Amino acid sequence: AQSVTQPDIHITVSEGASLELRCNYSYGATPYLFWYVQSPGQGLQLLLKYFSGDTLVQGIKGFEAEFKRSQSSFNLRKPSVHWSDAAEYFCAVGAGTASKLTFGTGTRLQVTL
């Protein structure tokens, strides 16, 4: 069965600083990979997805992620964080499907002004 690890429970960055959130997955074949963002008390919004092709994918709100097969990773990056990016971020993997997903436990991002 597939699994997802988000090693950082909580990250604090200053506004304007760069951001990288880590995600490692376990799956024997090429997975479907996703990043979702959740504001407090809200549902999840899809930031970006990787199905195949170019390993660097662009998403909404200036986020990007890079699929590295050799490292089983799909890290999320943003060059300059805004205060409104404070939220919880979830990495997810689909094994052979894009919709029955296994989620990581999330990384809570705090942005200081």
Partner 1 sequence: SQTIHQWPATLVQPVGSPLSLECTVEGTSNPNLYWYRQAAGRGLQLLFYSVGIGQISSEVPQNLSASRPQDRQFILSSKKLLLSDSGFYLCAWSGGLNSPLHFGNGTRLTVT
x-marked contacts with partner 1 along 21-40 as a string, rule CB under 8 A: -----------x-x-x----
x-marked contacts with partner 1 along 76-105 as a string, rule CB under 8 A: --------------x-x----xxxxxxxxx
The Cα 34–Cα 48 span in angstroms is 6
Smallest gap from Cβ 90 to partner 1, in A, equals: 7
The Cα 67–Cα 34 span in angstroms is 10
Tokens representing residue 94 in the block: 């689909």
Rule CB under 8 A: say whether 14 interacts with partner 1: no
Binding part of the chain for partner 1, among 18-26, 44-52, 63-71, 72-80 by CB under 8 A, reads: 44-52
Query: 89: which strand partners?
Result: 37, 107
Rule CB under 8 A: say whether 49 interacts with partner 1: yes
Tokens representing residue 76 in the block: 């999320």
Q: What is the DSSP string of 58-99?
A: E-GGG-EEEEEGGGTEEEEEESS--GGG-EEEEEEEESS-SS
Among 51, 55, 82, 84, binds partner 1 (CB under 8 A): 51
Interface residues with partner 1 (CB under 8 A)?
Answer: 4, 9, 32, 34, 36, 41-46, 49, 51, 90, 92, 97-106
